[in-house]
Structures are given as structure tokens and as C-alpha cells.
Amino acid sequence: MQTASFTASSESTPSPADPTAGAPLAGRPAWLNRFHSLGPAFSTAWPARALPGPHWVARNEGLARELGLDLDWLASDEALDVFTGNRPWGGNASIATVYSGHQFGMWAGQLGDGRALLLGETRTAAGPMEFQLKGSGPTPYSRMGDGRAVLRSSIREFLASEALHGLGVATTRALCITGSPAPVRREETETAAVVTRVAPSFIRFGHFEHFSHNGLHDELRQLADFVIAHHYPGCADETQPYTALLAAVTARTAALMADWQAIGFCHGVMNTDNMSILGLTLDYGPFQFLDGFDPTHICNHSDHQGRYAYNRQPNVAMWNLYALGQALMPLIGDSDTALAALETYKADFPGLLRRAMGAKLGLPELDADGEIRLLNPLLQLMARERTDYPIFWRRLSEGLPGTPQFEAVRDLFLDRPALDAWAADYTAHVAGRDTAAISAAMLRTNPKYVLRNHLAQTAIEAAENGDFQPTQDLLSVLSSPYDEHPQHDALAGFPPDWASNITISCSS
């Protein structure tokens, strides 16, 4: 039998007293399973439902290396079975966790892992990590769902999480996808797939809401203490640890929103059950990276009100944080204290966004005045012209105003006088600065390769015909999106006309 082996990092090296210390991880990782140990109020031990005829769709060797996972084992039939849910990993029992949440602003009651299973948590070279299958069959929380995920949405999640990671944005990761010919009914009949996700924790705002709304305050406290102990240890030293936790989650969420807005990422379903307590991008459904710059863009065709439009994401995140604050009230007690923690979002987010957008201009230090005079007019012009968002920023990085390459930026605009006026302002702003250094920094901030809908769609259509190479090619390019990949230049072009006809709904 081939073996899976992890190399523990020094940070997480087991102590000599640990009976698993130094034990070979031969397809049997030394499970930590800390979430499991919270007890039956939090999860149900539940096996995956096997899928017939499993096959590999994609493996993420870069992530496997980061985790210290043996690459030969990852390519083995045993791993194929493990990551399809057809055999338990090292005999470990998988669990489905319970959570609730607000969906589209309405209390939705109990939800939970309806198609995901936590295989377990183990030490890896990157620290303790949880491994989760998505699409592994029905669970006690499936409600009316089939517990499955289709190949299409699995490829989108796999590529998007690695794309955001490559861009430096906090996200859950994706280790591999397996597929099966088993039919799965959505608008059309598709085939089943399973994504293996990896993160330090998959705990959501909705986990807290669940216990709070059901009056289970002991469990609520247990969960908060768990999250503080394992993920926010600094909060334990504060005089009000639960308020400190709320403030820390608020800070991470604000940072994530600034990153999403700057990169042009629309999540599409920012329900509280899709919000990570660690501030990670979580649950990729109808997401989209902007093509043309439209601040009001709605990527989810099921979002008729535009609640989760691109320009509403920062406010929705704050709304969701208030829902988390509400859930934590039995622990925090005093609403003024909770509100003070939440208000830090309003105080901090504008500066975070300004820094992120300023960095795109090569000016991370941009002040409020610069934002008004330099950034906002540019964004208004881009919105008027629906300028291609990734291509604009990349071309600007390669050709600042005053250089011959700036012509390629001008080519993107109809209203050249307006652009030239902006370029003059920019030139005045950076007068006396080292523009070569500015340009170099911008090339590390404005990616060349972005997972646009049409690129994902092309990879999906190839995969549906049995060709998984385009998925693997996209993975490799998106893992280092700021670098040049000359053989893949075609992946950095404008979207084709048909891209605007791609409709992405919650169906996945």
C-alpha cells in the first residue's frame, strides 16, 4: 500500500509526550480532530456515500507540497478513493457540522454541511489543517438537496480558490477534484465531482448564529472559546475575550473586503453561512472576477435584488458582522461594547480600501485627498466606459503616463481627452519619484492572469469531454498570476463576446 506522509512544521512539531510524535503517517495522518472533540451538539459522525467509477480531474501538487503531502500517494488509487469519499482516510470517521444563517438578509434557520464532510484535521507542514470533501453525498443537514456537487462548479471552486491564493487573498484552498460518471440533476443532468478543500478551519458566522438563535448559550461559549484558543489566542489575554474576538474577526473581514474590491472579485452569495470566522474567502458558487468595470455588477443570476452586487460587498460584510455580533451578545453582554467592536469596520475599511486601490496605482500611501482627486475620477471614467478591469491595470503597470507603452492604455478608452487629463494629474502626482520602481511594484499588484468566467467555462467544457489539461494549465498560471507565462498569453486576453452570455446561478 502506498503511504501518505506529512512533514510537520517546527511550529506544530508534536512534543515527545505526544503518542503520535514521529509516527509514520502511512495513509494514517495523526489526526488532531479538535472540532470533532467539541461533541455531538456541533456535528454528526457521517460517512460519505460512495460514487461509482471515480477518476482524477485535477490535483494541486503545489498545495500538496506546502502541506508536506506525499505526491506519489496523492496520485495513488487509495488517494483517489479517499478524496472521492469511497474509503475513509486512515480509518478516521468523517463528520458533518451544523450551522444556521441569514440568506439574502432573511433568517434561514438550520443549514449545516449538506454536502460537505470534514475528513479530519491533522498537522501539516503548513500547520494544523482540516480536510473537507464537498459533494460527498447527503448528510443529516442536506434538507432537500442531493448532497452532490457537479463537475462544473467543482472546477470553478478549485480554480478560484487557488486563483485568489495566488493573488495573495485569504481563502480556503483546494487540493484536488475527483469525478464520477454518476448523473446529478441540476437545470440539466450533469456528472458528479468531489472537491477536497483545505483550511485551518471551516467555521462560519453561521455556526455561532446557530447556537445563539437556539438559546444554546453553553455551546455558544464552548464554540467561542474553541475559536479563541485555536485561532485567535491573543484574544484570551484581553479583559473581554469575546469582544476581542468580534473585533479581530471584524478586522480580518474588512481586510478581505478591501482585497476583493481591489482585485475585482464578486463572491455572489455573501450569506452569513458563507462567511468564514477566519476571514477567508469561503464557498465559491456564482462568483465572478470583473471583466469590464461595472461597480453595480451582479454576478449571481439568482440575486434579483442585487443584494450582493460588487459595490455592495463591503456593506454586506458589515451587515454580516452585525449578525455575528448579535449572535455573540449572550457572551458579550453589553451592546455598546459589541457596537464599538463592530464600528471599527467603518473606521478602518475606507483606509484599507484606499491602500489597496492606491497600490494598484503604485501609490499605497495615497491619502484621502489623492483618493478624491486621482483615484475616484479614474474609476468614474472606467465605469462610464466599462473598461476591462484586469487589462487596464496590467497595461497601466507596464506603461505609466509619459511612456510609449501608455498608448496601449489609451487604446482602451473612447474618451481620450478625459484619460489624458487624468494622466496629466497622475504625472504631476508622481513627479520626482522613481517611476521604474512604481511600475515594478504595480506589476506585483495588478495580475496578468485572472480567472475570468470564460476561462473557467472553457476548462469546464474540455473537462466535460474528458480533457483535464486546460484545468491543470489554468491552475499553474493562476498560481503565479503576476508572472509572465508566454506560452499561455492567450489566457490574458479580452473576454470573447460569448462571455457576456454565461449565466451563473446558485445551482451547483
Active site residues: 273
CA–CA distance, 307 with 323 (Å, rounded to integer):
16
The residue within the footprint of ligand AMP, chosen from 115, 156, 207, 210 (CB under 6 A), is 115
The residue within the footprint of ligand AMP, chosen from 4, 119, 159, 269 (CB under 6 A), is 269
Site for ligand AMP in 123-162 (CB under 6 A): 142, 145-148
Give whichever of 171 and 243 is closer to ligand AMP, judged by the CB atom.
171
The residue within the footprint of ligand AMP, chosen from 200, 285, 314, 495 (CB under 6 A), is 285
Q: In the bound complex, what is the minimum distance in angstroms from residue 48's beta carbon to ligand AMP?
A: 13
Q: In the bound complex, what is the minimum distance in angstroms from residue 14's beta carbon to Mg ion?
A: 33
Could you tell me if 349 and 239 are in contact, meaning their C-beta atoms sit under 8 angstroms apart?
no
Q: Which stretch binds Mg ion (CB under 5 A): 158-166, 227-235, 275-283, 353-361?
A: 275-283
Output the DSSP codes for 445-465.
TS-S----HHHHHHHHHHHHT
CA–CA distance, 3 with 238 (Å, rounded to integer):
44
CA–CA distance, 130 with 420 (Å, rounded to integer):
51
Angle in degrees, 0-180, between the axes of helices 151-167 and 453-464, rounded to the nearest 10: 140
C-alpha cell read off for 142: 442536506
Q: Which stretch binds ligand AMP (CB under 6 A): 11-19, 113-121, 307-315, 349-357?
A: 113-121
Q: Is 246 exposed, middle or buried (0-12, 13-18, 19+ CB in 10 A)?
A: buried
Under rule CB under 6 A, residue 204 binds ligand AMP: no
Could you tell me if 307 and 267 are in contact, meaning their C-beta atoms sit under 8 angstroms apart?
no
Could you tell me if 105 and 322 are in contact, meaning their C-beta atoms sit under 8 angstroms apart?
no
Q: Which stretch binds Mg ion (CB under 5 A): 75-83, 219-227, 281-289, 426-434?
A: 281-289
Q: Which does 146 bind (CB under 5 to 8 A by kind): Mg ion, ligand AMP, none?
A: ligand AMP
Under rule CB under 5 A, residue 283 binds Mg ion: yes
CA–CA distance, 470 with 303 (Å, rounded to integer):
30
Under rule CB under 6 A, residue 267 binds ligand AMP: no
Q: Which stretch binds ligand AMP (CB under 6 A): 108-116, 241-249, 456-464, 469-477?
A: 108-116
Q: In the bound complex, what is the minimum distance in angstroms from residue 372's beta carbon to ligand AMP?
A: 38
Q: Which does 70 bind (CB under 5 to 8 A by kind): ligand AMP, Mg ion, none?
A: none
Q: In the bound complex, what is the minimum distance in angstroms from residue 13's beta carbon to ligand AMP?
A: 35
Provide the mask over 66-105, with x wherever binding to ligand AMP is found by CB under 6 A and - wherever it is not.
Answer: ----------------------------------------
Under rule CB under 5 A, residue 274 binds Mg ion: yes
The residue within the footprint of ligand AMP, chosen from 219, 283, 291, 388 (CB under 6 A), is 283
Instruction: From residue 438, give the alpha-carbon distance in Å to each of 325, 359, 373, 396, 430.
Output: 40, 9, 19, 11, 9
Could you tell me if 473 and 455 are in contact, meaning their C-beta atoms sit under 8 angstroms apart?
no
Could you tell me if 321 and 345 are in contact, meaning their C-beta atoms sit under 8 angstroms apart?
yes
Which residue, 128, 186, 126, 123, is CA-closest to 152? 186
Q: In the bound complex, what is the minimum distance in angstroms from residue 374's beta carbon to Mg ion?
A: 38
Look at the block and give the residue holding cell 507542514: 125
Where do contacts with ligand AMP occur on this chain (CB under 6 A)? 111-115, 142, 145-148, 269, 273-274, 283, 285, 506
Where do contacts with Mg ion occur on this chain (CB under 5 A)? 274, 283
